[in-house]
Amino acid sequence: MADEKNPDPNRPAMPKPPMPAMPTPPAAAGMPKPPTPAAPGMPPPPPAPAMPAAPAGGMPKPPAAPAAPAAPAAATPAPAAPKPAPAAPAAPANPVNPAALKPQPPKSGVSAEPVKVEDPAVLSRRRDFVWHGVAGMLTLGAVAFGRFFFPRSLFEPRTSFTIGYPSDYGFGVDTKFQSTQRIWVCRNSQGLFVILAVCTHLGCTPDWLSTEGLFKCPCHGSVYDSEGKNFAGPAPMPMRRCDVRLDASGRIVVDTLKLYEVGKFNDGGPAGGAYLAV
């Protein structure tokens, strides 16, 4: 058995080679299970010298003397060919005196019962099962890890709020909510509208320059007119406007999540839209 360990016992495609010659029924008795190939590069051993019990092969230890005493009990019908297995080139040719070696029993084979050698196909299935389990756990962990970064609750400023009555605002741009709500309240002849103070280039807050009547972004130099229409710099479009409506008491309600882009600035009315006709 130990001799004919195939190079890769895990490969199910490789059937168990038939036991050649030497009908020694309890051959495997007391043998440790086939050791994992110690020398992977070793060519598969020639099938001829099926040493039934001598723990030769790729055993890391020097072959425990070919003599019969090496094999305990069950291996008594040891064949009379006690030369060391030629299939063990890796085994150092230790000039150990066989007599000096104690008849030391194989490590795991204290009992004389045959150690069951698993079918490679079964081992392979078992190993596949374990690996699939590991992969599954890692996948679950990765998903959980990813989900972990998306919090459920946010502690951010309200996105909908009231900013007082329409009569509070005159013509022009009012910046009093710029730092707290990031909006400008504007009024022209058409009505009242609220510009979201976010540059459409990369999201900085432009400055309102009242003397020039312009919004200028300090990050990359975009320039907007007093109604938020871009005309210089990298900004690709006018600044967006927030939804405005009047609540029951006549106050203006602003929603910074409901936004209107250019082309939709005339949408809506008192029930909610891009502007309030006041």
Partner 1 sequence: MAETPTKPKFKLPSVAELKEGQIWKSIFRHKLDETPRNRSLAVLSNVFLHLHPAKINRDAVRYNYTWGMGGITFYLFLVLTITGVLLMFYYHPSKGQAYRDIMYIMHDVPFGNFTRNMHRWAAHSMIITTWLHMFRVFLTGSYKPPREFNWNIGVLLLLFTMLLSFTGYLLPDDQLGFWAVTVGTNMARATPVLGSEGPFGPQMGITAFNDVRFALLGGSIVDANALLRAYIWHCVAIPIIASVLMIVHFWRIRKDGAISGPAPVMIEQDLSGPVAKKA
Q: How far is the CB of 159 from partner 1 (least distance, A)?
A: 9
Distance in Å, CB of 261 to partner 1, minimum: 12
156 versus 247: smaller Cβ distance to partner 1: 156
Q: What part of residues 216-235 is at the interface with partner 1 (CB under 8 A)?
A: 218-219
Task: Give the contacts of 149 (CB within 8 A, at least 6 positions apart).
Answer: none
154 binds partner 1 (CB under 8 A): yes
Are residues 186 and 278 in contact, defined by beta-carbon separation less than 8 angstroms?
Answer: no
Query: Least Å distance between CB 180 and partner 1?
Result: 13
Instruction: Confirm if 50 and 22 have CB atoms less than 8 A apart.
Output: yes
Cα–Cα distance measured from residue 275 to residue 245, given in angstroms and rounded to the nearest whole number = 8
Decide if 159 contacts 256 (C-beta within 8 A): yes
Determine, following the binding rule CB under 8 A, whether residue 237 of this chain makes contact with partner 1.
no
Residues 6+ apart with CB under 8 A from 209: 215, 216
Q: Pick the stretch among 119-127, 137-145, 148-156, 246-254 that binds partner 1 (CB under 8 A).
A: 148-156
For the bound state, the minimum distance from the C-beta of residue 211 to partner 1, rounded and expressed in Å, comes to 23
Size of the site for partner 1 (CB under 8 A): 12
- CB closer to partner 1 out of 109 and 206: 206
Q: Which amino acid is at 10?
A: N
Which range binds partner 1 by CB under 8 A, 2-10, 59-67, 85-93, 146-154?
146-154
How far apart (Å, rounded) are the C-alpha atoms in residues 120 and 13?
9
Please state, in angstroms and rounded to a whole number, the distance separating the CA atoms of residues 163 and 207: 20
Q: Which stretch binds partner 1 (CB under 8 A): 31-39, 152-160, 189-197, 263-271?
A: 152-160
> Does the footprint of partner 1 cover residue 40 (CB under 8 A)?
no
Kindly give the residue spans of alpha helices, DSSP state H, lying in the chain: 120-148, 178-181
Q: Which lies closer to partner 1 via its Cβ, residue 115 or residue 219?
A: 219
**Two tokens, residue 190:** 């058409």
Find the helix or strand (DSSP H, E) in which 29 lies.
Answer: none
**CA–CA gap between residue 145 and residue 149 (Å, rounded):** 7
150 contributes a contact to partner 1 by CB under 8 A: yes
Of residues 156, 170, 180, 248, which one binds partner 1 by CB under 8 A? 156
| Cβ neighbours of residue 63 closer than 8 Å, sequence gap 6 or more | 54, 55, 56, 84, 85, 88, 91
Residues 194-213: x where in contact with partner 1 by CB under 8 A, - otherwise, as a string: --------xxx---------
Considering only 43, 151, 170, 263, the residue that binds partner 1 (CB under 8 A) is 151
Min CB(267)–partner 1 separation in Å: 20
Question: Using the rule CB under 8 A, is 100 a contact of partner 1?
Answer: no
CB–CB of 195/241 below 8 Å?
yes
Give the binding site for partner 1 (CB under 8 A): 149-151, 154-157, 202-204, 218-219
